[in-house]
Structure 1
Amino acid sequence: MLLRQIRPIRPIRAVLTGTILTLALAGLSPANPAHAAEIIIINGYSETVRESTGNPVVCPHNQVLVGRAHSGDENGSTTYYCGMILIDGQVATVSGPSWSEPQRESNSFFTAQGNQVLVGRAHSGDENGPTRYATASMSAGGRAIELTSYRWSPGQRESNSYSKAGDYEVMVGRSHSGDENGQTHYQYARIAG
């Protein structure tokens, strides 16, 4: 009988971020292990609504907005995508929502303050109706989670729009101009590790 020595295989860990599944070899240490945290964003709750009714959409407990899609005019369908953040295996705590003052949708521009994220939105009527945003702060292990690398998405026609955060990102802002044929932009920020 021929015996071969088998080298142990390094375990593989699956990291789910947004809709991308990345496989990383366990045991590889980052360049600066004292400051690097493992960040995982798991797709969570999603809801499709007719926004013009004015009913707010808010992510469930300990989830934040990571994307949004809209089809048609003010009576069309809008889908909100939420995600749960894990830092070093611990679910990030998300504070209760704080709502912004309403602004006219056809000329709206909103960004969350400081290290806050979007957790909800409410809109009523057509492009002349009011829009409000719900923001929250995040923490893990008793420390506030910081955001970095803020960026705006390219503009897209609201009536056929879809935008989702990139790796390690959350939604922190949105702007819109005009009616359903106008341009919508989303602002995202990266979770600092």
Structure 2
Amino acid sequence: MGSLSRIGARTLALACAAGILSTGSAAVAVAAPSTTAEIIIIDGYTQTVKESSGTAVLCPTNQVLLGRSHSGDENGSTTYYCGLILIDGQQVRVGAPTWSASQRESNSFFAAPGDHVLVGRQHSGDENGSTRYATATMSAWGRTVELTSYRWSPSQKESSSYSKAGDYEVMVGRQHTGDENGQTQYQYARIVD
């Protein structure tokens, strides 16, 4: 049997990845132009919870956080957007999550350690309640997936916020001040092949 062409291999990898996901998927980014590896990020699992409920949200196995949105006060809804990453057709493996210590939401700042990505978050109560984050490492082809080009999103009002990673990016941090009328920012980093 002959070998698959690069395009055939990519199509097969996308079809396999689509079968893995429990929700509809769409490719977010294809073939990073500045690298030799083909990096594909596919929208995956999405979960919406009541912000104040204390529900711990974790992306499914081998998915990472790509974005978050929130509407209203602490009784409003928060939606988490996870995704799956392929590098040269191989699904990136995401390590076991490690939870951070809790911190007061109204003056919170969290940035994952180097080459770690956010995979979950938990919040209880209002702005005086506690928030914690889950992080993990990523690997492909037997090596750690590295991150570069760390950046913070512009500030936005928490009660009507939406932010999602750009091309070839994953979410690695978040900061918030005040109540639902306070400002929120997200930190993203770019995947290195």
Gaps of 5+ in 1: 1-10, 25-29
Q: Is the 8 A contact 1:17 1:168 kept in 2?
A: no
Q: Is residue 90 of structure 2 the alignment partner of residue 82 of structure 1?
A: no
Residue 37 of structure 2 corresponds to 37
Q: Which runs of 5+ in 2 are unaligned?
A: 1-6, 15-25
Deviation at 1:141, TM superposition (A): 1.2
After TM superposition, the runs of 4+ consecutive aligned structure 1 residues lying more than 4 A away are 11-17
Matching of residues 113-152 of structure 1 within 5 Å: 113-152=113-152
**Match of 2:22?**
none
Give the drift of 1:93.
0.3
Which letter maps to 2:167? D
Distance 1:127 1:105 in 2: 5
Deviations 1:50-99 (A, max 9, x none): 02110100000000000000000000000000000000000000001000
Judging by fraction of residues, say which structure has more helix: 2
User: What is the SS of the residue equivalent to 1:113?
Assistant: coil
CA distance in 2: counterparts of 1:53 and 1:175, whole angstroms? 20
Larger Rg: 1
Superposition CA RMSD, Å: 1.9
TM-score (norm 2): 0.84
Counterpart in 1 of 2:101? 101
Name the residue aligned to 1:3.
Answer: none
Other-structure match for 2:18: none
Give the superposition deviation at 1:46: 0.2
- Which residue of 2 is the match for residue 185 of structure 1? 185
Q: How many matched pairs? A: 172
TM-score, normalised via structure 1 length: 0.84
Deviation at 1:36, TM superposition (A): 1.5
Please tell me whether the aligned partners of residues 39 and 168 of structure 1 are also in contact (alpha carbons under 8 angstroms): yes
Residue 61 of structure 1 is matched in structure 2 by 61
Report what 2:153 is aligned to: 153
CA distance in 2, matches of 1:162, 1:102: 23
Query: Percent identity over the alignment?
Result: 71
